[in-house]
Structure 1
Amino acid sequence: MSSTFTRPLLVSMLVPLLLAAAPPPTAPASPQLEDVIPDTFSGVARVVAVGDVHGDVQALKEVLRLAGLINEKGRWSGGKTHLVQTGDIPDRGDHTREAFELLMRLEKEARAAGGRVHTLLGNHEVMNMLGDLRYVTPGELASFADQDPTPDAPGTQQGLNGHRAAYGLQGRYGRWLRTHPAVVRINDTLFVHGGVAPEVPAKTLTELNRWVKQDLFPGNPPGGATNPQGPLWFRGYALGEEESAAPALEAVLQRFGAKRMVMGHTTDRDGKIRMRCGGKAVFIDTGLSTGYGHHLAALEIRGGKLTALYKDGREELVAPTPVSGDQVSP
């Protein structure tokens, strides 16, 4: 037989053998408590921060377009801008998964363009990861049904098993969320969901983020993700007397090398970004989702100037004079 015919025959016989001998593709390594998460970024020309989403992916898309970060097709168009989403993507709305998927994709697209997307942990992310489903809507829960092939038990809500799997340590969203910090510093600004209280047992952001993550990995002592004074829950700068809040905030900012703190978590029902403590506390949860009024707003920080971005235009934010007893209803 001619070698012209034997060579293809040998190749066709060898290829299946080589494929069978090849090691199977390895799954991504599980996130670990010890993993160091980047938490400090400098030299960023433009930062945009967006508050609580609560399952409303359309509102998220609208506000990202408003800020010039995505185009009409939903693709990253923000160049080297850093986007910070300050947590509370899930709960109270049916489209949490779509919001997760959007931000997961934008993370990659922004990095490729020289920008970044920082999706921070909020208290509602942690509640879902730890099985607290008080605020999960039926439609939201059902959307996770395909994440576990095990049928839900009779009499239970559709998607219960899938939700548990999705937010678990090996789940698509649980794995992703556990690789994200609770607090980041970009240039001279701290970004966090609730607020960093003076009592947090940390001198660095790495220590602070590790304290939060302790609750998300089994076998660890209680940490900051569930602590009422932890950075996902604390409201002292939003609701406390300004006379006491201002010096406490100043001490925290000095500890972590920042000039201001940007927070979500505490909704301002008038739909406006609010400042306290001489402009060192900035609150950006304006009720973005439809359930909270659909108040589209984003904070832009560029060249040290803070600007609120609204549907009806831009508004430069001027630091207010601290006022004793300035409070906001919960």
Structure 2
Amino acid sequence: MARSRYLLFGMLLFAQALWAAPRQLDAYRWDNVARIVAIGDLHGDYDSYLTVLQSAGVVDRRGRWIAGDTHLVQTGDIPDRGPDTRRIIAHMARLGGQAEKRGGQVHNLLGNHEAMNVYGDLRYVSAGEYSAFAGKRAPVLRDRYYKATLEALAASDPEQAAALPADHRAQWDLSHPLGWVEHRFAWDPRWDPKGELFLWTMKTKVAIQLNDLVFVHGGIGSTYCGNSLESMTTMARAALGGGDPDAPGILRDEAGPLWYRGLAGVDPAASTETVDAILGRHGAAHVVIGHTPTDGVIWPRLAGRVIMIDTGISAAYGGHVGWLEVTREGLFAGYRGGRLRLPMDDGQRLEYLDAVIALQPANPALPKRREALRAGTLDAPPANVAPTPAQPLEAAAICGTAR
């Protein structure tokens, strides 16, 4: 009899553990995840990236996974503005393997800056980034590429080639620093379809869902409201491998999930009806976004329907350490000085912001945000995003027609 009771007790414990374990529903959705840590844009700053993960209890001092079955989400924009893109991506790849051995997972989402590096928009690549790619053969590779460009020009337009100014090479070198060629081989499939960072980018996803939270880089508006999570990634991967930087589509669409700022309150701001339609489409309660900097605060909008997590982790944006943490106890904002429960009522945001300011007294942008909040401008875009006098609402979405 006693043996039967022990057996029954053991079966109940096993069933309970099985029920509580994370479940992967498909390639884009997970349920019953006990702990989620989400971080926003990193922009090439490895030191700040590691500081965030250490502060959140995800890695130890040597950068090794210590978070058990936690799911880590990085919402895109690892490249540009800083020098450490390759280093961050390499570390996240190692971290993913370590996490899986312990029941956890690392999710990398596609941001507009990953896409830009693939299709060749290099406006924000830093000098340090190119230097990080420059190996011993960098001068030779650059000379070969320069020679190839001259030969191509001479073949297509001999007169223009003959009229090049005496300082053409010097000017060309300024826009093609050492490491530029290696950078293109790594990112651009037209240079190398097996480039390491291109292949890594092709593994990222546009959006995923963990429990009742949808994660995406820029946001989902009425234009893409009817799309499934899978379809957006399928469209993006097709465009990434297409090789035409001028082709319109999901990678460059300002209303698309990589660029859209309407969920962040930027003109045209998404209406509550639009957000509710998006959440209803996916059976979710929250959508978590990066892309639009918040000057150092994990910021909820529309009663927590939207959660903005681009705190400006990179030194290029102030080095503001912050992360979203989701547990069975609720949603929390993590900072160096501590963890705060995220308010799900917009009326509680002033009290929350006061608590954040107490944790970050040296951040001059937060008191300005507080002033705007008290003045009734609840979601004024940060200084580096052009404001509009009146932010018209986007038309309410009708989800069901996919692009």
Give the letter for the 1:224 counterpart.
Answer: I
Give the TM-score of the pair, scaled to structure 1. 0.83
Contact map agreement 2:254 2:260 (CA 8 A) in 1 = yes
Matches of 2:298 and 2:270 in 1, distance apart?
22
Match of 1:295 among 309, 313, 320: 320
Give the letter for the 2:237 counterpart.
Answer: K
Contact map agreement 1:242 1:325 (CA 8 A) in 2 = no
Q: Deviations over 1:170-224 (max 9, x none)?
A: 1111101111101000111000110011211743211121122232012787431
SS, match of residue 198 in structure 1: coil
Q: Deviations over 1:138-187 (max 9, x none)?
A: 11012123498761135231111101111133111110111110100011
Q: Matched residues, percent identical?
A: 38
Q: Deviations over 1:247-304 (max 9, x none)?
A: 11110111122111000100011x1110111111000011111121111001001126
In the TM superposition, what is the alpha-carbon distance from 1:129 to its structure 2 partner? 0.7
More displaced 10-residue stretch of structure 1: 100-109 or 152-161? 152-161
Match of 2:181 among 141, 144, 161: 161
Contact map agreement 1:195 1:235 (CA 8 A) in 2 = yes
Indicate yes or no: 2:276 matched with 1:276. no
Indicate yes or no: 2:141 matched with 1:151. yes
**Alignment partner, residue 42 of structure 1:** 31
Contact map agreement 2:33 2:211 (CA 8 A) in 1 = yes
Indicate yes or no: 2:292 matched with 1:266. yes
Give the letter for the 1:277 counterpart.
Answer: L
The structure where helix makes up a greater share of residues is 2
The alpha-carbon distance between structure 1 residues 67 and 223, as it changes in their structure 2 partners (threshold 3 A), is same
Match of 2:339 among 309, 314, 321: 314
Indicate yes or no: 2:238 matched with 1:214. yes
Matches of 2:216 and 2:118 in 1, distance apart?
19
Match of 2:209 among 177, 181, 185: 185
Q: Deviations over 1:25-74 (max 9, x none)?
A: xxxxxxxxxxxx92111121000000110000000000000111101111
Match of 2:92 among 84, 100, 103: 103
Matches of 1:303 and 1:120 in 2, distance apart?
24
Matches of 1:146 and 1:256 in 2, distance apart?
46
Match of 1:227 among 253, 267, 270: 253
SS, match of residue 184 in structure 1: strand
**Alignment partner, residue 198 of structure 2:** 174
More displaced 10-residue stretch of structure 1: 90-99 or 149-158? 149-158
Matches of 1:123 and 1:173 in 2, distance apart?
15
User: How many residues get paired?
Assistant: 293
Give the letter for the 1:213 counterpart.
Answer: R
